[in-house]
Amino acid sequence: MAGLTGAAVTDPFLAPGLGAALSDWLAQMSALRGAAANTVEAYRRDVARYLRFLSQHRGGAEGIAAVAATTQSDLRAWMAEERARGLSARSLARSLSAVKGFTAWAADRTGADATTVLSARGPKFRRKLPRPLSIDGAAALLDTIGDDAREDWVAARDTAVVTLLYGLGLRISEALSLTGASQPLPPVLRITGKGGKIRVVPVIPTAAEAVAAYVALCPYDLAPDAPLFRGARGGPVNPRLIQSATERTRLRLGLPATATPHALRHSFATHLLSAGGDLRSIQELLGHASLSTTQAYTAVDAARLMEVYERAHPRA
């Protein structure tokens, strides 16, 4: 976290003590909550902008106690400025969440009353629904993604990776983080997801067979501590290679532009829900921290049911 500390302390709009406080909070976020590096960096940017605004809005750099006791007027002015510079409602809601986290931490250390900030409501926005593939579309993609590969082992690799995304609901980063110790695939996999959260995922036979087919053809030594999926020169696979293979396949099949590797994870959840899967179980399989995140798939399922209904019962 040294880099983050330096960036905060040298900011001309922040008092040195406030910059150090921001760095301490970020370090705690990383160490205790297991926040991913990208999340920590996003929070740093969001809170630093907020602190700079307060300093300018109030006419000078302030300490941590003053920040913890921000007034409703200050908070509204900050939110108005963020919207004026073009920040979306979704992004502003994320920034407010970061600000609340830092303010709660600051209030805990100074004894300030942070009720105003912590009770502030973020802007309302419509959450984007996941865009899964149809069952036939997902099956076609898995069956043909290797058709353009120049070598059989590369075709088997791409097929194995996308089968893990659709068959187990993995993120592409999770699939590509598997090591040689994972093969042959066991009945269940322990997956380390976002924030270092570990979940247990059952392995379906199709996924185990796809990985076994790749392992049998792979020309490289898949040592237990080395990446399972390899690039052409033997190094770890760049996610962009899988994304490119998926893009070529969806163009060939005439699938929508939303047919990406991550859409296969959405498809896993949506198709499981359509087949009667329990929402809590799907939450565990996906590694969602909040059930509300998983509930988005119920809206997708309902939307598809309405499409079927309207096709079967056209309006006069």
Q: Establish whether 262 is a catalytic residue.
A: yes
> Start-end ranges of CATH 1.10.150.130 in the chain?
2-118
pLDDT tens for the chain, 316 residues long, are 333 333 433 465 666 677 788 888 888 877 766 666 778 888 888 988 888 888 888 776 567 777 777 888 888 898 899 888 888 888 888 888 888 888 888 888 888 788 888 888 877 655 665 577 888 888 999 999 999 888 999 999 999 999 999 888 888 999 999 999 998 999 988 888 776 778 888 898 999 999 999 999 999 999 999 999 999 999 999 999 999 999 999 999 998 888 888 888 888 888 777 666 655 666 667 665 555 555 555 554 544 544 544 544 455 4
pLDDT, tens digit, 9 for 90 and up, residues 293-308: 555 555 545 445 445 4
> If one looks up domain 135-312 in CATH, what number appears?
1.10.443.10
Query: Which runs of consecutive H residues, i.e. helices, occur in the chain?
Result: 2-9, 16-32, 37-58, 64-68, 72-84, 89-110, 115-118, 135-144, 152-168, 172-176, 205-217, 239-253, 261-274, 279-286, 291-294, 296-312
Is 23 in a helix, a strand, or coil? Answer: helix
Q: Establish whether 313 is a catalytic residue.
A: no
Q: Establish whether 171 is a catalytic residue.
A: yes
Helix 296-312 with 261-274: angle, nearest 10 deg: 70
Predicted local distance difference test score (pLDDT) of residue 8: 39
Q: How far apart are CA 83 and CA 71, in angstroms?
A: 19
Q: Establish whether 311 is a catalytic residue.
A: no
Predicted local distance difference test score (pLDDT) of residue 125: 54
User: Catalytic: which of 58, 94, 194, 199?
Assistant: 194
Q: Establish whether 100 is a catalytic residue.
A: no
Q: How far apart are CA 51 and CA 162, in angstroms?
A: 43
pTM exceeding 0.85? no
User: Catalytic: which of 171, 250, 266, 271?
Assistant: 171
Query: What is Dmax (Cα atoms) for the chain?
Result: 69
Q: How far apart are CA 267 and CA 282, in angstroms?
A: 12
The b-or-e profile of 106-126 (16+ CB within 10 A means b, else e) is bbeebebebeebeebebeeee
Predicted local distance difference test score (pLDDT) of residue 5: 38
Predicted local distance difference test score (pLDDT) of residue 297: 54
> If one looks up domain 2-118 in CATH, what number appears?
1.10.150.130
Predicted local distance difference test score (pLDDT) of residue 207: 92
pLDDT, tens digit, 9 for 90 and up, residues 275-288: 666 556 666 676 65
> Start-end ranges of CATH 1.10.443.10 in the chain?
135-312
Q: How far apart are CA 234 and CA 302, in angstroms?
A: 45
Q: Establish whether 265 is a catalytic residue.
A: yes
Name the residue among 275, 269, 316, 276 with its Cα closest to residue 295: 269
Predicted local distance difference test score (pLDDT) of residue 264: 87
